[in-house]
Amino acid sequence: METPLTQHISASRPPLNLRDYEQVGGYQALRKVLKSMNPSEVTKTVQESDLKGRGGAGFNTGMKWSFVPMNDGEMTKYLIANADEMEPGTFKDRLLLEGNPHQLLEGMIISAFAIQANISYIFLRWAYKKAARLVRHAMDEAYAAGYLGRNILDSGYNLEMYLHTGVGRYICGEETALLNALEGKRATPRTKPPFPQVSGLFGKPTIVNNVETLCNIPHIVNNGADWFKGLSPGSDAGTKLYGVSGRVNNPGLWELPMGTTMRELIEGRAGGMKEGYKFRGALPGGASTDFLVDQHFDIKMDFKSVAAAGSRLGTGTMIVLDDRTCPVGFVHNLEHFFAQESCGWCTPCREGLPWTEKILLSLERGEGRPEDLKLLALHTQFLGPGNTFCALAPGAMEPLQSALKYFREDFERHINEKKCPWAKDHGTH
C-alpha cells in the first residue's frame, strides 16, 4: 500500500530537514514544473487527478484553480494554506506540518506557480507552537536554497511566503473569514459571489487550500494523474488521512486508500472498542458532521458514500460515541463549543446556537420539558443550510439533528427521569 503523504514521517525520528527531504526526492516535482511545464499544464494535471479538497468541502482542486483569471498581466495573486485546524476531533494536518513541513512548502510553491501567484501565506492555528517553529525553519531553508524568493531555480518565477499565526477562532477555518483575518479585520465571512478565486485577499485573485490537499500536489506532479487515481479502489482518488478518537483501543491517525470502510478504521486500525464499552455511533468527519451508527459500519469513507448515508466525510477524523457516554451531554459539549465560536455576524447563528446550548444544558440538569425536543428540532431547521451567512451553524446542527434521530430515547429519558441517566448508571458523562 502506497502512503505518499506519510511515508517519510515517523514518531521515532525528527522531521525531515531540507537535506533529508531532497534525498528522498523532495523538490524534484518543483524542478519538473519550472523546467518543463506551464501553469495551465499543472492545473490540468491536478484537475485530471480528481484530487478533492481535504478540508471538508471535497471540491475538485484543479477545477478550483481554473477559476483564477490568468490573462491579467502583472496582477498580484495569492495562494494560502489553511492550517487553522480547529475542528474538534481533527488533528491530521498537524501530523503533516510537524512531520514533513517541506512537503507542504513544495506543494504550495507548485500550486502558486499554477495560478501565477507571487505571494503566499500559511495561516496556522495559534496552538500549533511546534508546527510554527518547524515551518519557519523549513521556510528559512527553502529561501536559502533558492526554492523561495526571486527567480526560483533560475526560472524567472518569484514567490514570497509568510507564516501567519491566528489568534484562535474557529470561524477562521472558513476561507473568507480567514481572508478578513489576514487583512487585519474582524474574522467574519464574506458574501459570495464574488468568490476568492476572482476577488479574495485585498481584492485580488486568491486560492485557499487545505494543508493535506496541498501536500498531495508534488506526488501528483511526479507520478501523474492516473497513478493518483489508482491509489484508491473507489470513486474518489488518492489516499486520505483518517483519524479515530474516543474509547477505542488504539486511537490514532492513518494514511489509507480513499474509501476505506468505517469497520476497517474502528475495528482494524483503532483496535475496536475498549473493554467494557460498546459502539453507539460516530461523527465521521469531525464535530460538524452527522452521526453514523451500527447500520453504517461497512460504508466506504469517501465523499459520495458518506453523503448517501446522511452525513459528510468532512475531515475524515472520526469521533466515536460509546454506550457509557451520555449522547445528550456529548452533543451539549459540541454545541457549547459552536456557540462560543460563532462570529455573531448573522442572527440565527448568534442567537440560535446559545439557545440550543441552554436547552441541552437544561436537559442535562434534569430541568427539561417535553416541548424542548420540538424546539431543538426547529433549531436544526432554522439554523440549517440556506438560513445563515456561512456554514458554521448548519455544521453545528448536524450532530444535534442526527442525535435526535438515532438517540431520541436518551433525550426522552432526561425529561422523564428529570436527570441525566448516565450520572447514576455509569457515573460519567
Per-domain boundaries in the chain: 18-230, 239-322, 327-425
Three-state DSSP state, 317: strand
Say what the pLDDT of residue 166 is: 87
- Taking only the tens place, the pLDDT of each residue in 295-344 is 999 999 999 999 999 999 999 999 999 999 999 999 999 999 999 999 99
Residue 428 has pLDDT above 90, yes or no: no
- Taking only the tens place, the pLDDT of each residue in 229-243 is 999 988 899 999 999
Say what the pLDDT of residue 162 is: 98
Residue 259 has pLDDT above 60, yes or no: yes
Band of residue 99 on the pLDDT scale cut at 50, 70, 90? very high
Single-letter residue type at 37: M
The architecture of the domain spanning 327-425 is: Up-down Bundle (1.20)
Helix axes of 39-49 and 101-115: crossing angle, nearest 10 degrees: 120
Say what the pLDDT of residue 75 is: 82
Mean pLDDT of 154-167: 95
Residue 425 has pLDDT above 80, yes or no: no
Say what the pLDDT of residue 235 is: 85
CB 109 within 8 A of CB 218: no
Say what the pLDDT of residue 38 is: 96
Using a pLDDT cut of 70, give the percent of the chain over it. 98
CB 357 within 8 A of CB 339: yes
Helix axes of 129-145 and 101-115: crossing angle, nearest 10 degrees: 60
- Taking only the tens place, the pLDDT of each residue in 373-421 is 999 999 999 999 999 999 999 999 999 999 999 999 999 999 999 999 9
Residue 73 has pLDDT above 70, yes or no: no
What CA–CA distance (Å, rounded) separates 228 from 213?
13
Establish how many alpha carbons lie within 13 A of residue 68's alpha carbon, considering only the half-sphere containing its beta carbon. 31
Dihedral over Cα of 152, 155, 158, 162: its sign: negative
Q: Where do the DSSP E strands lie in 136-213?
A: 160-165, 206-210
Maximal CA-CA distance, the chain: 74
Strand partners, 319: 245, 283
For the chain, give the mean pLDDT: 95
Specify whether domain 239-322 bears CATH 2.60.120.480.
Answer: no
Q: pTM of whole model > 0.85?
A: yes
- Taking only the tens place, the pLDDT of each residue in 261-278 is 999 999 999 999 999 999
Mean pLDDT of 115-139: 97
Dihedral over Cα of 273, 276, 280, 281: its sign: negative
Single-letter residue type at 238: G
**18-230: CATH superfamily:** NADH-ubiquinone oxidoreductase 51kDa subunit (3.40.50.11540)
Dihedral over Cα of 344, 380, 394, 359: its sign: positive
Tell me the CA distances in angstroms from 230 to 78, 120, 258, 296, one per residue in order.
31, 31, 10, 25
Strand partners, 52: 60
Residue 206 has pLDDT above 70, yes or no: yes
3-state helix, strand, coil in the chain (%, to 5): 45, 15, 40
Provide the edge-to-edge strand list for the sheet that holds 239-245.
252-257, 239-245, 317-322, 279-283
Say what the pLDDT of residue 140 is: 98
Say what the pLDDT of residue 336 is: 97
Q: Which three cell numbers stand for residue 295?
A: 447500520
Say what the pLDDT of residue 138 is: 98
Residue 63 has pLDDT above 60, yes or no: yes
CB 341 within 8 A of CB 169: yes
Mean pLDDT of 173-188: 94
Establish how many alpha carbons lie within 13 A of residue 106's alpha carbon, considering only the half-sphere containing its beta carbon. 29
- Taking only the tens place, the pLDDT of each residue in 35-46 is 999 999 999 999
Residue 152 has pLDDT above 90, yes or no: yes
Average the pLDDT over each of 48-57, 140-149, 399-408 and give the range with the smallest value: 48-57
Say what the pLDDT of residue 423 is: 76
Residue 372 has pLDDT above 80, yes or no: yes
Cα-based angle 163, 164, 166 (whole degrees, multiple of 5): 145
Residue 429 has pLDDT above 90, yes or no: no
